[in-house]
Amino acid sequence: MANSKRPPITVQIRRSPAVDENYAGQYQYVRIPSRRYEIPTWFVAVVIAFLVTACLMPFLLSLGYYAYYQFSEKIIPGVKVGDLDLSNVGVRNAAAELGAYYNLKRTITVSNGFKTWEVTPAQLGLKINIGATIDDAFSVGRYQGVNENINQMLTSFWDGWQVPPVISFDEETARAGLETIAAEAGKPATDASISLQNGEWVTTPSEIGYAVNIEETLAALKSNPSKVMASGYFQLNIIPVAPQVNDALAVKEQAQKFLEKNVEIKAYDPITNEFITWNVSKEMLGTWLKAEANPQGVSVGIEPNQVTAYLKSMSDTLGNDRWLDAEKYSHGLAQAISQGTPYYVIINHKPTSYTIQKGDTLLKISWKTGFPMWYLLNANPNLNADTLVVGETITIPSKDEMLPLPVIPNKRIVLNITKQRMMIYENGEQIKKFVMSTGIDKSPTQPGVFQVQSHKINAYASEWDLYMPNFLGIYEAWPGFMNGIHGLPMLSNGTRLWANVLGKPASYGCIILDLDDAKWLYKWADDGVVVEIRP
């Protein structure tokens, strides 16, 4: 069979008489010898090998890819935590990158719908749980069945795989952060207002405001902290805030009546006993007015911020050593003006200095400045009382330190050590005058401006075994020891002292009155009444 030959092929050829004069018929048969074509065996083998390899290659590559990552400590390609790509990153490096990116570098855009702020995750109580998040990222393509692992790996390779960050959420920290943001993110409603400008009333319409709903915003943040961390964006829950006053014209008549008042601001200097009155012009008062809502409807009141600005300007007129605490008094003064009730702003005093002169002792300086010696030593910790240096400057505290309680302006007690007399003033008029006894030379009564600080119906001085009826404490002669005003003292054995020496120095620093006078003063002198002791 191998040497057999294929028979010749007979081919029928049509012939045309137009080109063949010896045409004898329509067809002629021609015999063509056969030729054999053989494909080399090596070629066939190569083709088969190529086809087999081409079919197996994807499988082999996939198997290698799968096996590599199953036994590797690297996160498979395509895995992201938010917008942080962790493809092919080792677990340890991935943990470091995750912590740096989310806990240190990350910012979150917070919006109220009108503007945005950049805050740290910590300000919203958010912190990424690095270990749990890395576990989730590393588990993609692992720990499932083989088919599921392969599907996850292929999906991650071609389309990417998002792993939400695992977030620790601190609600109290988030609340505090939102309250801070809310102060800036809100817009107060604007009440309709009126003002007097160039003698004419000008009205300003109301405008709605908005505020951050802390509870709703906190609930939204708490519901999905991972989404907020991953997206880097958080929308605040905003609620409208309606103005309280919408029609300024409704209070125009009230405002006109308000301007008919004669408004005076009274200031009182308790150290000098000086009263100052400032008259507020109608033009200025008109700029202070505001319409405000109350349970009875809408009325005209005073804007405290305007009063603050006015008091600051008045403070500048008091000189270098005195000042007004405008913020402290502006609200009370605004309310008093609105209600037509009297109100005093108290003038404060700044610390000063004293230059030591020849012949000065600490006791003399104490008398000149009106401070017990221990106050001066506290203010000048490096001062040596036994070796005062002439020409050296020392600090004198503010005289306000001797007046720790709210001052009562319409009552004042004035003592004259030289005359051994006490005068009682009320509303600027002297109403009483008492004979008294102050401290002896070895334990003198301290001159200065002080204040009734305490009431004790029968105080006891253990150092001298004295009972002091109707005691009014006025200053600390040294820390913890209060000098004051009281009736004739009595020893524990029942002996009454100094009744026969009133009008002359007799005590150890306190001020002594007759029993009836002390009893009257005890009831009249409220805590806060100023006590001025003159040399």
Tell me the three state secondary structure of residue 406: coil
pLDDT tens for 224-240 read: 998 898 889 999 999 99
pLDDT at 244: 83
94 and 228 fall within a common domain: yes
342 and 366 fall within a common domain: no
With 80 as the cut, is the pLDDT of residue 494 above it? Answer: yes
Last residue of a domain, one of 362, 379, 402: 402
87 and 115 fall within a common domain: yes
103 and 139 fall within a common domain: yes
Mean pLDDT of 508-526: 97
Q: How far apart are CA 216 and CA 510, in angstroms?
A: 64
Cβ atoms of 65 and 153 within 8 Å: the answer is yes
User: Burial, 110: exposed, middle or buried (Cβ in 10 Å; 0-12, 13-18, 19+)?
Assistant: buried
375 and 336 fall within a common domain: no
Cα dihedral: 354, 356, 361, 366 (round 10): 0
224 and 111 fall within a common domain: yes
256 and 233 fall within a common domain: no
**Sole residue written with tokens 């590559």:** 61
Phi, psi of 40, deg, nearest 5:
-65, 145
Report the number of distinct structural domains present in the chain.
Answer: 4
Half-sphere exposure of 471 (CA within 13 A, CB side): 19
pLDDT at 284: 87
Residues 6+ apart with CB under 8 A from 407: 268, 270, 346, 451, 528, 530
Q: How far apart are CA 253 and CA 297, in angstroms?
A: 14
223 and 95 fall within a common domain: yes
pLDDT tens for 31-46 read: 545 455 566 666 566 6
In-domain check, residue 185: yes
- Read off the pLDDT band of 2 (50, 70, 90): very low
- Read off the pLDDT band of 16 (50, 70, 90): very low
Q: What CATH code is carried by the domain that includes residue 360? A: 3.10.350.10
pLDDT at 296: 67
State the DSSP string of 333-374: HHHHHHHT---EEEEEE--EEEE--TT--HHHHHHHHT--HH
Q: Which of 245-259, 421-435, 450-464, 507-521 has the lowest mean pLDDT?
A: 245-259
86 and 213 fall within a common domain: yes
Cβ atoms of 376 and 365 within 8 Å: the answer is yes
pLDDT at 197: 74
Residues 6+ apart with CB under 8 A from 3: none
236 and 256 fall within a common domain: no
391 and 434 fall within a common domain: no
In-domain check, residue 509: yes
Residues 6+ apart with CB under 8 A from 50: none
In-domain check, residue 188: yes
In-domain check, residue 64: no
pLDDT at 3: 47
- pTM value surpassing 0.75: no
Q: Which of 39-48, 258-267, 316-325 has the lowest mean pLDDT?
A: 39-48
In-domain check, residue 475: yes
Domain that holds residue 261: 250-349
In-domain check, residue 456: yes
227 and 90 fall within a common domain: yes
In-domain check, residue 26: no
Q: How far apart are CA 485 and CA 518, in angstroms?
A: 8
Percent of the chain with pLDDT over 90: 62
Strands, E assignment, 135-206: 161-162, 167-169, 193-197, 200-204
